[in-house]
Amino acid sequence: LASLWARTKIAELMAKDFAGIQQGNPRKDVREAITQLGLDYRLMTRFTSFVAVEELTITEGGQPRRIEVPVELPEGVSYESIFGSGDEHAGSFGHRMMQPIAKMSRSFLGGKVARESVASSPPTMVDRMEPERDDSRLGDSSGKMDSTLESLVEHVEKAIALPNNLARHVTDGKVLLQVWLTDTNPETLEKLKELGFEVVTQPKTGTLVIGRLSVEKLKAFSKLSVVRYVTLQRASA
């Protein structure tokens, strides 16, 4: 029921700015909301299309914590070879966006798989798992953080005490993040570390890294040209 609700919500958001999305110039609030729904509910959207998640255990505050990390479709493997193809079209807002994630064997990607029914028809093209590239904003922080992180930054800048719903994400002044980068070259990772970013894990595919960063440095971090999008790394359900 949760994934059904999320897909319905995504369709509603698409309808709000359908022209802008089709032209590659979506509204910031619509893009961010769709991206966050895709990440939270493991759904393929216009801006996210990972097909599975790997479950990892990290140590935070001296306690073990399970997290789920998106895994990208391996290079050279087509969507059709895993999900199959069909003759029916789905949805009126571009059926590739609304395809649910298919269940795959654990041995294929070596991780916990996001469980959904097999899609009835393949998307017209396979998106990357990272939010769509928009190089024009890489040196700006606007639109590069999810709403929770933006709220954290606002509270810190205004010296406002964090409410419980925000404070629970902070441990020793730091937050655990998923960071999408332009690339994962050593030089790029070094730029992150210069701002105090602590790499916890780095998936073997894609340009995603998981790590910790001081809340006070979030804004400066998101302004780095190598950073494409930053969101909270949430605990495994």
pLDDT digits (tens, 9 = 90+) for 159-217: 999 999 899 999 899 999 989 888 999 999 999 999 999 998 887 767 889 999 999 99
Does residue 118 belong to any structural domain of this protein?
A: no
Q: Which two tokens stand for residue 60?
A: 């935070």
Q: Which amino acid is at 127?
A: D
Long-range contacts of 104-108 (CB under 8 A, 24+ apart): 104/51, 104/52, 108/52, 108/82
Q: Determine which helix (DSSP H) or strand (DSSP E) holds 37, and give its type and residue range.
A: helix 28-41
Percent of the chain with pLDDT over 90: 24
Does residue 81 belong to any structural domain of this protein?
A: yes
Does residue 69 belong to any structural domain of this protein?
A: yes
In a shared domain, residues 144 and 93:
no
The enclosing domain of 178 has a CATH number of 3.30.70
Residue 34: pLDDT band with limits 50, 70, 90: confident
CA dihedral 69, 132, 123, 205 (to 10 degrees): -40
Does residue 65 belong to any structural domain of this protein?
A: yes
In a shared domain, residues 36 and 74:
yes
In a shared domain, residues 84 and 10:
yes
Q: Per-residue b/e over 187-201, b at no fewer than 16 CB within 10 Å?
A: ebbebbeeeebeebe
In a shared domain, residues 9 and 103:
yes
pLDDT digits (tens, 9 = 90+) for 88-114: 333 433 433 333 333 333 333 333 333
Does residue 114 belong to any structural domain of this protein?
A: no
In a shared domain, residues 220 and 142:
yes
Number of domains in the chain: 2
Does residue 90 belong to any structural domain of this protein?
A: yes
For the chain, the average pLDDT equals: 70
Structural domain harbouring 84: 2-109
Q: How far apart are CA 237 and CA 36, in angstroms?
A: 16
Cβ atoms 51, 104 nearer than 8 A = yes
